[in-house]
Amino acid sequence: MASTVLEATRAAHEDLERLERLAVRELQRDPANARDRLFQSHRVRHMIDLVVSTSEKLVEIYDDKDSARKDEISTHLTAPVQDDIFNKFYDRLKEIRNYHRRNQSARFVSETDDYEELLKEEPAIEFTGEEAFGRYLDLHELYNEFINSKFGSRMEYSAYVGTFAQTEKITHSLKATRQYKEYLEHVLEYLTSFLYRTEPLQDLEKIFTKLESEFEEQWANGEVPGWENKGTEKETASQESAIDLDYYSTVEELVELGPEKLKEALAARGLKSGGTVQQRAERLFLLKHKALELLDRKHFAKGSRSSVSNAPNGNNFKDDLKKEIALLEIKMRRLCEILDEVIVRTKENAEKKLTLTYEEMEAEREEEEVQADSESDDEDQQIYNPLKLPMGWDGKPIPYWLYKLHGLGQEFKCEICGNHSYWGRRAYERHFKEWRHQHGMRCLGIPNTKNFNEITSIDEAKALWDRIQSKQGLNKWRPDLEEEYEDQDGNIYNKKTYTDLQRQGLI
């Protein structure tokens, strides 16, 4: 703990230099695996946050709002008589010695060890089971919200993962609602959280600030993607309601707008604008389920049945809502561009799960857990593996004799699986029943039966399928040759011969 303002300033500068050196040293280290790389990024992010907080303290010290720094400097500089310089020096020295005598723990305090611990600690990062430590997105809650909304449609989860960022497919009338805005906010909140957990060194504030500045210019010029016809919508909006009642589901929500906005909305429609806020909201809420022309005359002001075209403030309200929604869409698309690889992996994983049974999914999940445990154990130790042998259940290379016994050095390529390589005879034989080969056979339009085991070439699979179809054709019932007819004399003919003789009049 510093005893003076100047000492606190010096210590803060020392902390900044130490944190900068530690961050550089951490980034120069090559991580052993993906998990270690993620931990490294979070440790560096924590150091950056400490640098920012320490810099803010230094700014407060240099601002010197309480003049403590100025007073301390003046006590060292102001010395009218030479003897006073030595007196002040020894007084200050005595004060420092008394301070350290009272605080024995502050005598040899060094924060170097504390900062070194930052390089050893393992950050606490929370992921769901579906996210698999940042490999995939978990969009199931957003998917359920989408398919159960007015603007959504029924589709498979894998299809939703590939299209949830394509908001241009939704009409503008469905976008300008409270439900759609809340949905976008939920999507943006999740993507921001996921990006912070998987890429903590990304400066999201800087990205969003740049997007907002560009968005303001594009919105003013009517060039926002998906909202280019903003000017046309303004003209049609002048003929709609001043407040979009689809955006509100209860009278209480309208009350939150306040008396002035309710008064303007009622006046724009030619309705009475007096009464309490509750009465105004109830009067306006009548239009949600009934057309303006069908309302009782008692609700209208005297001699006034104004159209909505006289309500510029209502148009501004609706434009503000659309502007907020358009900005949320822009931010969501930008985050999806950053997470493009993760989205592709998530879609592939969702499609893969459609072809797996429950037992296969459980086995795959157990393999991932074992792999994650082997990565987390003994990460600091460099495993000697010059032959590049596969890793066993304990996270160590398997014995070489076991490697040769199972023939793991043999490579088998399957053209149907997209030239994917399988190492070892066992893995090669098993892959004919796995999802990748099944998907390839389905794309060729061929059933994946036992007849096609050991077939890895697309041409061979097609040729075999043609032969099977031709053989099935020979075994089919052919009525022209196999259906029998008998004449009056008891002679037996097939259908074709009997028909020819009958036409010639011989029978």
- Distance from C-alpha of 465 to C-alpha of 321, rounded to nearest angstrom: 59
Give 143-200 pLDDT, tens digit per residue.
999 999 888 888 889 889 888 888 888 887 778 788 888 999 999 999 999 998 888 8
- Tell me, yes or no, whether 137 and 212 share the same domain: yes
Cβ neighbours of residue 116 closer than 8 Å, sequence gap 6 or more: 22
- Tell me, yes or no, whether 469 and 493 share the same domain: no
Alpha-carbon dihedral 408, 409, 413, 417, rounded to 10 degrees:
40
**Residue 370 resides in a domain:** no
- Distance from C-alpha of 270 to C-alpha of 306, rounded to nearest angstrom: 5
Last residue of a domain, one of 119, 153, 180: 119
- Tell me, yes or no, whether 193 and 218 share the same domain: yes
- Distance from C-alpha of 137 to C-alpha of 401, rounded to nearest angstrom: 40
Last residue of a domain, one of 119, 148, 181: 119
Q: Which amino acid appears at position 413 of this protein?
A: K
**Residue 382 resides in a domain:** no
**Residue 306 resides in a domain:** no
Q: Given the DSSP bridges, would you call strands 492-494 and 484-486 parallel, antiparallel or unpaired? A: antiparallel
- Distance from C-alpha of 151 to C-alpha of 365, rounded to nearest angstrom: 35
- Distance from C-alpha of 331 to C-alpha of 212, rounded to nearest angstrom: 9
- Distance from C-alpha of 178 to C-alpha of 172, rounded to nearest angstrom: 13
- Tell me, yes or no, whether 12 and 92 share the same domain: yes
**Residue 73 resides in a domain:** yes
Predicted confidence at residue 219, as pLDDT, reads 84
**Residue 280 resides in a domain:** no
Q: Which amino acid appears at position 394 of this protein?
A: D
- Tell me, yes or no, whether 104 and 17 share the same domain: yes
For residues 184-221, one letter each, b for 16 or more C-beta atoms within 10 angstroms of the residue's C-beta and e for the rest, the string is beebbebbbebbebbbbebebeeebeeeeeebeebbee
Last residue of a domain, one of 86, 119, 152: 119
3-state DSSP assignment of residue 434: coil
Predicted confidence at residue 2, as pLDDT, reads 56
- Distance from C-alpha of 393 to C-alpha of 366, rounded to nearest angstrom: 11
Cβ-contact 484, 492 below 8 angstroms: yes
- Tell me, yes or no, whether 326 and 209 share the same domain: yes
- Tell me, yes or no, whether 444 and 491 share the same domain: no
- Tell me, yes or no, whether 10 and 46 share the same domain: yes
Predicted confidence at residue 237, as pLDDT, reads 39
- Tell me, yes or no, whether 65 and 34 share the same domain: yes
Predicted confidence at residue 270, as pLDDT, reads 75
- Tell me, yes or no, whether 80 and 161 share the same domain: no
- Distance from C-alpha of 39 to C-alpha of 312, rounded to nearest angstrom: 54
Give 274-308 pLDDT, tens digit per residue.
888 888 888 878 877 777 767 777 777 765 544 43
- Tell me, yes or no, whether 347 and 223 share the same domain: yes
What is each CA distance from 444 to 212, 412, 422, 438, 469, in whole angstroms?
48, 21, 21, 10, 15
Q: Which amino acid appears at position 58 of this protein?
A: L
For 455, the domain range is 400-474
Query: Could you read off the pLDDT tens digit of each residue along the chain, which spans 507 residues?
Result: 456 788 888 888 988 898 888 888 888 888 877 788 888 888 888 888 888 998 998 998 888 888 888 877 777 666 555 556 677 778 878 887 887 777 765 544 445 556 666 666 777 788 888 888 888 899 999 999 999 988 888 888 988 988 888 888 888 777 878 888 899 999 999 999 999 888 888 888 888 888 888 888 888 887 787 776 544 444 443 433 456 676 777 878 778 778 888 887 877 777 777 888 888 888 878 877 777 767 777 777 765 544 433 444 445 556 677 888 888 888 998 999 888 899 988 988 888 888 878 787 777 777 766 665 555 554 445 577 777 788 877 778 888 888 888 888 889 999 999 899 998 888 899 999 888 898 899 889 898 888 898 999 999 999 999 888 887 765 566 677 678 888 888 888 888 888 888 888 887
Predicted confidence at residue 185, as pLDDT, reads 92
Domain count, the chain: 4
Predicted confidence at residue 109, as pLDDT, reads 44
Predicted confidence at residue 306, as pLDDT, reads 42
Predicted confidence at residue 240, as pLDDT, reads 39
- Tell me, yes or no, whether 192 and 322 share the same domain: yes
Count the Cβ atoms, other than its own, within 10 Å of residue 363.
Answer: 12
**Residue 66 resides in a domain:** yes
**Residue 163 resides in a domain:** yes
**Residue 269 resides in a domain:** no
DSSP single-letter state for residue 275: S
